[in-house]
Structure 1
Amino acid sequence: MLHWLLVPAAYLLGAIPCGYLIARAKGVDIFAEGSGNVGATNVGRVCGKPAGAAAFIFDVLKGLVPVVVARWIAPTQPWLHIVCGLAALAGHVWSVFLRGRGGKGVSTSLGLALGLSPVAGMVGLGVWAVVLGYVGYVSLASILGTVAATLVLFGITDVFAYELAYAAATVLVIVRHRANIGRLIRGEEPRLGETRPGQATDEGEATDSE
C-alpha cells in the first residue's frame, strides 16, 4: 500500500516548472516573453539553445523517473507504473506551483514512453526529429511523434495497462495542441524559428508545441 505514495510524489515531481525556473534564473519571466509558453521551445527561443535543451531534458526526466522508480519498487504492478507516469504528466500540464498552468506534455510524455518501452520512446523521438527537419512545424512533429510511439507500444507490448496509459497520454497531447492544429489547417502555424505576434494567451494556447 505504501507503494501508492509514489503517485503524489510523481505529481509533485512533474509539477516542478523546469522551464519557468531556468528562465527565472536568467532573469526572464517566460510567461511574458516569446509565445508565453513554459516549454523547452520557448525557453530555447528566449533564453538560448542551452537553456532550451536543459528544459527539454528535465521535462523528459519528469516523465521517465517516476515510471522507472515504480517499476523498480513494484515490478509486478503495472497499474502503479502507469498511474505514476500519468500523475507526473498531469503535474507537468497542470502544475500546482503555477496555479494550474503548465506545458503541453510532449517532453514529459516522451519520458513516460521511454519508461514504459524504450523502443517506443526512441521511435517517437526519431519521428519527431524527421518531421521537424522536413516540414519545420514543432507542433506537427510533436503530435506525429507521440502517435508513432503509441503505435509502436501497441505493437511490441502485451501489457494492457501500458497501452491504455500511453493512449491516454497521446489524447492529452493532441487536445493540448488543438489551437496549433487549427492554425495548421488554416496555414497560420509558424515554423521553427518563425515568430508571429499576438498568439500567446492567458490560457497557455501559445504557438509552441511544448
Structure 2
Amino acid sequence: MLLAAGLIVAAYLAGSVPFSFLVARARGVDLRTVGSGNIGGANVWRSVGFGPFVVAAVLDMLKGMLPTLAARWLLPGQFVVIVLAGVAAVLGHTFPIFLRFKGGKAVATSGGVLLAIAPLLVPIGIAAWAVAFLITRISSVGSLTAAAVVIVAGTLFYLAGALPLPYAAFVWFSALFVVYLHRENIQRLRAGTENRFSRLR
C-alpha cells in the first residue's frame, strides 16, 4: 500500500510539470497571456510554432506514460493501482501544483497513459485527431473527435477481451474528461467563434 501510494503521488507530481508552459517560456512566451491562454500543446503551436509544439507534446505524453509504466513494472498485475497512477498523472497535468492548479486539457498526457496500458489505441486516436484537424483547422475538433473514436475503440477492445476492465475504465474516464475540459470550446464551436489555425508552421 505504501508503494502504491508513493507511485500515485509521484505520478501526480510528474504530471504537474508544465512542459508546454516551460517550452513556450524558453522562447520568451507566457502561454497564459497569448492565444487561447491555455497551458497546452495547441497553444504552444499557435503561439510559438510547430517544432516547440512537437517537443511539448512528446514531453506531455512521457509524463503520462513513464509513471504508468513504473507502476506496471513495480506492481505487475495490480491493474487498479496502475490506472490510478495514470489518472494521477492526468490530474497533475490538468491541476498542476506548480501553476496554481491551472493546467492543460490532458489530451497528450492521457495519450501517454494509453501508450503504457493500451498502445494500439494511440495511433487510432492520433489518426482521428489528424483527420479532423486537417479538415477543420480547429484543434479542439481534433481532440473531441479523437476522444469519441478512442472511447468507441476502447469499448470494442474491452468487449473483445483485449482490454482489462480497469484499463477500459481509464479509456472511458480519460475520453469523457477530455470532453469535459473542452466544454468552453464546445460552446465556442456552437457559436462559430472557436479559434482556427490560419496556417500551419
Which ranges in structure 2 are unaligned for 5 or more consecutive residues?
none
CA distances 1:76-101 after superposition (whole Å, capped 9, x unpaired): 10001100000000000000000110
What is residue 120 of structure 1 aligned with on the other side? 121
Q: Output aligned runs, 1:152-167, within 5 Å.
A: 152-156=153-157, 157-167=162-172
Cα deviation, residue 154, structure 1: 2.0
Secondary structure of 2:72's counterpart equals: helix
Contact between 2:121 and 2:154, CA under 8 Å: does it hold in 1?
A: yes
Find the counterpart in structure 2 of residue 192 from structure 1: 197
Classify the secondary structure of the residue corresponding to 2:120.
Answer: helix
Contact 2:65 2:116 in 1 (8 A): yes
Report the Cα offset of residue 193 of structure 1: 3.0
Cα distance in 1 for residues equivalent to 2:146 and 2:57 = 15
- Shift of residue 28, structure 1, vs aligned partner: 2.0
CA-to-aligned-CA distance 1:169-196 (integer Å, 9 cap, x gap): 11111111011111111222232237xx
Q: 1:88 and 1:63, CA in 2 relative to 1: closer, same or farther beyond 3 A?
A: same
Deviation at 1:48, TM superposition (A): 2.1
Superposed, which structure 2 residues align to 1:23-172 within 5 Å? Answer: 23-156=24-157, 157-172=162-177
Instruction: Note the residue ranges of structure 1 that are not aligned, 5 or more in a row.
Output: 195-210
1:27: how far off? 2.2
Structure 2: distance between partners of 1:147 and 1:116: 18
User: Distance between the aligned counterparts of 2:56 and 2:79, measured in 1?
Assistant: 28
CA contact (8 A) 2:83 2:170 kept: yes
Count of aligned pairs = 194
Aligned amino acid, residue 163 of structure 1: A
Deviations 1:112-156 (A, max 9, x none): 222221111111111111111122221111011022122222222
Are the aligned partners of 1:114 and 1:122 in contact in 2 as well (CA < 8 Å)?
no
Name the counterpart of 1:182.
187
Q: How far apart in 1 are the matches of 2:171 and 2:58?
A: 20
Residue 193 and residue 3 in structure 1: after superposition, are their counterparts in 2 closer, same or farther (change >3 A)? farther
Secondary structure at the residue paired with 2:101?
coil
TM-score, with structure 1 as normaliser: 0.87
Q: 1:31 to 1:158 in 2, by over 3 A?
A: closer
Check the 8 A contact 1:39/1:104 in 2, yes or no: yes
1:3 to 2:3 alignment: yes
Q: Distance in 2 between matches of 1:122 and 1:2?
A: 35
Contact 2:138–2:194 (CA under 8 A) maintained in structure 1? yes
CA apart distance, 1:35: 1.8
Distance, in Å, in 2 between the alignment partners of 1:188 and 1:23 is 25
Which gives a bigger RCO, structure 1 or 2 (Cα 8 Å, sep 6+)? 1
Tell me how far apart the structure 2 counterparts of residues 112 and 143 of structure 1 sit (CA, whole Å): 18
Local SS of the residue matching 1:118: coil
Identity %: 36
CA distance in 1, matches of 2:138, 2:51: 21
